[in-house]
Amino acid sequence: MGKVSNYLKEKLEKGEKLHFTLIDPAKKVDYSELEKVALRLHEAGTDAFLVGGSLGVTPEEAGDVSSILKKATGLPVIIFPGNINCLTPKADAVLFMVLMNSLEPYYLVQAQVQAAPLVRKYGLEALPTGYLVLYGETAVAHVGRIQPIPPEKPEIGLAYALAAEMMGFKYIYLEAGSGASRHVPEAFPSLIKRSTSLTVIVGGGVRSPEVARSLAKAGADIIVTGNIVEEDYEKAVSIIRGIKSR
């Protein structure tokens, strides 16, 4: 097993709930500010950084951001790819994702075929991840051409999760969409955690410690926040504390 998956597994086996900080290199990044924010979030207890975006990320930007985060904190940097342009050898690992509810063959298999030789060449650890985007109104939903999942039907989410597990994935990422106005309903992580042995990642529209805590309590192993870090990183600090102080 790779270094990053071991790091995550050890923490999760101790019963810890984890927090990932998403940094989108396509947003205007002030590099000295980034170092300061990274240090603050590390001190607050974030467990790893995700680096990626749906659109507009250059490999150079992904590389620069990854190097800064690694140098400042020593935490794992995991690429969260909207496409192969997000890949960089400066990161430690990549969420090697299949967008399971996409209607587009590219996001089901072709992106992975394009990515695999690069991932190998760059020495990135691949974290096999089923990616499910619930709602239709965000950048990721548009770019990934998804078929939305009815929020009152967690059993449909479970069917995808079971398929992910049977196909050998280790992680399932339940995504409301970055900046979404509603988060993933608690019933999704709850049902999936009870019925599979996947590591459950939940993100999108998490804007308060209460919501983060209730998702973690329901069954999410890892909570991701992105936009809130850009808006006011002290709010992200309180979300991390909310997750860690259950």
Ligand X SMILES: CC(C)=CCC/C(C)=C/CC/C(C)=C/CC/C(C)=C/COP(=O)(O)OP(=O)(O)O
Taking the complex as a whole, the smallest distance from the CB of residue 83 to Mg ion amounts, in Å, to 12
Q: CB count, 10 Å around CB of 136?
A: 13
- What distance lies between CA 5 and its chain's CA centroid? 14
Using an 8 Å Cβ cutoff, are 139 and 178 in contact?
yes
Q: CA 216, CA 220: separation in Å to the nearest integer?
A: 4
CB closer to ligand 1GP out of 23 and 75: 23
Q: CA 108, CA 224: separation in Å to the nearest integer?
A: 23
Three-point CA angle 177, 219, 37, nearest 5°: 55
Binder of Mg ion out of 18, 20, 22, 24 (CB under 5 A): 24
Q: What Cα–Cα distance (Å) separates residue 81 from each residue in 95, 155, 166, 211?
A: 7, 27, 23, 25
Binding residues for ligand 1GP (CB under 6 A): 22, 175, 178-180, 203-206, 224-228
Is there binding between residue 81 and ligand X (CB under 6 A)? yes
Taking the complex as a whole, the smallest distance from the CB of residue 63 to Mg ion amounts, in Å, to 17
Q: CA 28, CA 72: separation in Å to the nearest integer?
A: 19
Given the structure tokens 């808006």, which residue do they identify? 231
**Tokens standing for residue 101:** 């509810």
* Site mask for ligand X (CB under 6 A), range 221-240, x = bound: -----xx-------------
Of 8, 34, 47, residue with least CA distance to 240: 47
> What is the DSSP secondary structure assignment for residue 124, as one 8-state letter?
P
Is there binding between residue 53 and Mg ion (CB under 5 A)? yes
* Binding residues among 16-75 for ligand X as defined by CB under 6 A: 24, 52-54
Is there binding between residue 201 and ligand X (CB under 6 A)? no
Using an 8 Å Cβ cutoff, are 39 and 242 in contact?
no
Taking the complex as a whole, the smallest distance from the CB of residue 246 to ligand X amounts, in Å, to 26
Closest residue to Mg ion in the complex (CB): 53
CB closer to ligand 1GP out of 20 and 169: 20
Torsion angle defined by CA atoms of residues 146, 101, 83 and 127, in that order, rounded to the nearest 10 degrees: 150
CB closer to ligand 1GP out of 126 and 143: 143
Is there binding between residue 219 and ligand X (CB under 6 A)? no
Q: Residues annotated as binding site for sn-glycerol 1-phosphate?
A: 173-179, 204-205, 226-227
* Binding residues among 94-113 for ligand X as defined by CB under 6 A: 96-99, 107, 111-112
Residues that bind ligand X (CB under 6 A): 24, 52-54, 80-84, 87, 96-99, 107, 111-112, 115, 131, 139-140, 143-144, 178-179, 226-227
Residues that bind Mg ion (CB under 5 A): 24, 53
